[in-house]
Each structure stands twice: as C-alpha cells, then as structure tokens.
Amino acid sequence: MADSVKVLIGGADAELLAQVRALSNRIELVSAEQVEQRPELIPELEIVYGGLSRARLPEATGLRWLQTGGAGVDGLLTPELRARDFIVTNASGIHAEPIAEHMFGMLLMVTRRLAEAWDQQKTRQWKGYDFGASVQLLAGKTLGVLGVGAIGGHSAKVGQAFGMRVIGLRRTGEPHPHVERMYRPEERLEFFRESDVVMNSLPLTENTRHTMSWEEFAALRPGAIVVNTGRGGTIHTDALVAALREGRVGAALLDVTDPEPLPEDHPLWAMENVYITPHYSGAHPGYQQRAGRIFLENLRRYLAGEPLVNVVDKTEGY
C-alpha cells in the first residue's frame, strides 16, 4: 500500500474508529498499544491524534499532521518541533461554553459568598445577615476579557446578559459584537485600570508570559477580581500574591497556576479570597466526542487536500 496513510489514534472510542475507517480505505489505523510494542512504527506515522507521549514526538520523523485534544500547545512545541514542517491543529472552540460557565461559577461563588454559606451549612446555622451585607452585584461592574477568542467571546456575551459593561484586550484589537471597547496590548494598563473583574483565558506564548505582572496589578482597581483559566504562566505568581496581600486584588479564582500542580506549601492554597480548582474548567460531558468530530472533519479535509481547521500558528504558539 504505497498510497496508505498511517494514522495513530490514542484512546478513541469505537464509534470514532469506525467513522475514520469509513472515510477512506487508504487509512491504516495504528493503536497506542501497537506503537508501544513496535516503536519502529513511529517514524512511519503520518497523522497523530493522541496515543504518543510528548517525549516520543521527536521520533515521529514522518509526521505531517498532529491533532491535539486540548487547546493549549505551550507544553508541546519545543523549538525543534516548531522548526519542522508538520501541521498542528487543536480542539479550540469546544472549551468556550464549559470554561465560561466555570469562570462565572467561580466569580459568583465569591460575589454571592456561596463558599462561606456552604461552610456554614455544615453547622446547620441559618444566619444570612453577614452574607447579605457583603455580597457584590455583577450588574453594573466592568468585565475585562483578557484574550477574546472563543472562550473570551462567550464570556463577554454572558457578562453582557448579566448587565456588566464588557471591555476586551486582544492582540489584533479587532472588535467583537459583545465587547463595548477593545484594547490592544500596548493599551493594557488602561484596560486593567477599567476592569472590576478580569477574566483571563490567554494561551501561554512568548508574548503572553506574565501578561499580568507587577505593573498590571498596580494598575488594577482596588478590590478587582482576577479569574484565570488560561495558563498559569500568563500571570506572575509572586506579583499576584503580593497584590492579594495588599488587598489590591480582592479575589483570585484560579483553575491554572504557575507552578502547576501547585505545591502543597504554596501560600496561594490558604490565602483569603483565593479559590482554586485543579485545571478542569474545560471538562464537560461529550468532550471526547466533540474533539473527535474536529479530528474527523480535519481528516476528511487532509485526505481531500483541503486546508485544515483549527490550525495552530507554530510561531505565535496558539
């Protein structure tokens, strides 16, 4: 089969495998187990969708296209892999709804004091006054969406429905229907000065590392709430901890941290107004099926010689 295409699919369900097989008889499916037993297959792989560890990726010298199951590729693209000419596609887009829901859930847990109410429930006490006196209202606040991609755009829409004023920061500065004012990276301090709530869903690239650092935290409105579901490294952790201690940041709601996992002795774990969820904001029922559909569509395009969707710019890093 000179014309055959070796495709490695790791951990796929039977339905996806059947759909892949039905697509073309040129496809030669390889499983993670086969690769494990016969590593000499790795250089022959043309397409990889899971099933190969990052450490072994350099061995895939025949690779033409890599589909990832997640969104961020910051841990994947070493300088060597960037220099090679295979295409990288991700599953960006399927995370918009779960991550926006996660961010608003964490935010409302703080503004409505629900974590404290949950702690009090365990003592079977009915005392609402303290909570009622210290809640905050989203309506009327300014939501600063940091990184207006699929996740940020959906968050902007929800924020508007809640009655928030929504501003955004985007590399291109391109407008968005749910963002009242879009800032460019060079205007970022003004963006932070305007935000009561910052929702950060930035990917980690050379440009986005420490997007929120000493200067940016100093610009924030006192008591501002910072939500991060992008990558921990987009925030300078020491600067965040200092801003929390000074009360400049009112609360930090973190699904991602730097370092990650957060070490047991890290101060963030026990700081007042810090809420941590261990990197699962993108998870949702049907995740694998939705990611699989992106792969399947791309495989169809690949075989037909059409351009793929969700192509990662290997230089930009997302």
Binding site for its own copies (CB under 8 A): 97-98, 100-102, 104-106, 108-109, 111-112, 114-115, 117-118, 120-121, 124-129, 131-133, 135-139, 157-158, 160-163, 260-262, 264, 269-270, 275-281, 283-286
174 carries an active-site annotation: no
* Shortest Å, Cβ 52 to its own copies: 21
113 carries an active-site annotation: no
* Shortest Å, Cβ 155 to its own copies: 10
Question: Which residue out of 95, 165, 221, 231 is catalytically annotated?
Answer: 231
Q: By C-beta, is 19 or 136 nearer to its own copies?
A: 136
- In whole angstroms, how far apart are CA 293 and each of 23, 92, 94, 105, 312? 13, 12, 10, 28, 17
Return the beta strands (E) in 127-248 as ranges.
142-146, 165-169, 181-183, 197-200, 224-228
215 carries an active-site annotation: no
For residue 93, is it left (φ>0), alpha (ψ between -120 and 50) or beta?
left
* Shortest Å, Cβ 278 to its own copies: 4
Q: By C-beta, is 48 or 138 nearer to its own copies?
A: 138
d(CA 72, CA 173): 21
* Shortest Å, Cβ 80 to its own copies: 30
Contact in structure between 190 and 217 (CB atoms under 8 Å): no
Question: Which residue out of 279, 284, 293, 300 is catalytically annotated?
Answer: 279
Q: Which residues fall within 8 angstroms of residue 242, CB to CB, at 6 or more apart?
A: 214, 217
Q: By C-beta, is 155 or 298 nearer to its own copies?
A: 155
* Shortest Å, Cβ 61 to its own copies: 33
Q: By C-beta, is 108 or 189 nearer to its own copies?
A: 108
Q: By C-beta, is 162 or 214 nearer to its own copies?
A: 162
CA dihedral 271, 273, 276, 277 (to 10 degrees): 160
Question: Which residue out of 210, 260, 300, 301 is catalytically annotated?
Answer: 260
Chain center to CA of 264 = 23
Q: By C-beta, is 45 or 156 nearer to its own copies?
A: 156
Contacts of the segment 58-66: beta carbons below 8 A, 24+ positions apart: 62/6, 65/89, 65/298, 65/302, 65/308
Structure tokens at 45: 């792989």
* Shortest Å, Cβ 111 to its own copies: 7
Return the beta strands (E) in the chain as ranges.
5-9, 27-31, 47-49, 65-67, 87-89, 142-146, 165-169, 181-183, 197-200, 224-228, 249-254, 274-276
- Residues marked active site are found at 231, 260, 279
